[in-house]
Amino acid sequence: MRVDKFLWCVRYYKTRTIATTACKKGQIKVNGAVVKPSREVYATDSIELRKNQINYKLTVNDIPPNRVSAKLVDIYRIDTTPKSEFEAQELLKYSKDYYRKKGTGRPTKKDRRDIDDFNTEND
């Protein structure tokens, strides 16, 4: 089975197009090598993928016949992602409390008060 189809079948990506794009961008590695979307995946292959700033690691147990329900995903793969990856994601979430996108305009009164409160706490 193709690597992009496998990742779609085990619900790492919502569509095959997104999975194919991730392969083309070099975000997916099979056995340590960056692969094209058409690369065949076999049992016992290890896959590393980067999604939402998390480096997932998984091992292929078996090839599913088609897209499987969320309850049956664990039959076809073993997730070996370290817990530290998810903890780092939590820290990123807390560091972006006062982040504003460029070009969203002036801060509102509430934003300004929050920024002032944040600055007085750190002084």
What average pLDDT does the segment 9-28 reach? 90
Adjacent-strand bridge partners of 29: 34, 48
Q: Which two tokens stand for residue 7?
A: 């990742």
pLDDT band (50, 70, 90) for residue 17: very high
How far is 62 from 74, CA to CA, in rounded Å?
Answer: 10
**In the prediction, which pLDDT does 104 show?**
73
CA angle 39–54–104, rounded 5-degree value: 115
Asked if the model's pLDDT at residue 27 lies above 70, the reply is yes
Q: Which two tokens stand for residue 53?
A: 């700033």
**Cα–Cα distance list, 9 to 58, 63, 71, 75 (Å):** 14, 9, 12, 12
Average model confidence (pLDDT) for the chain? 84
Instruction: Tell me whether residue 55 is exposed, middle or buried, using C-beta atoms within 10 angstroms of its C-beta: 0 to 12, 13 to 18, 19 or more.
Output: middle
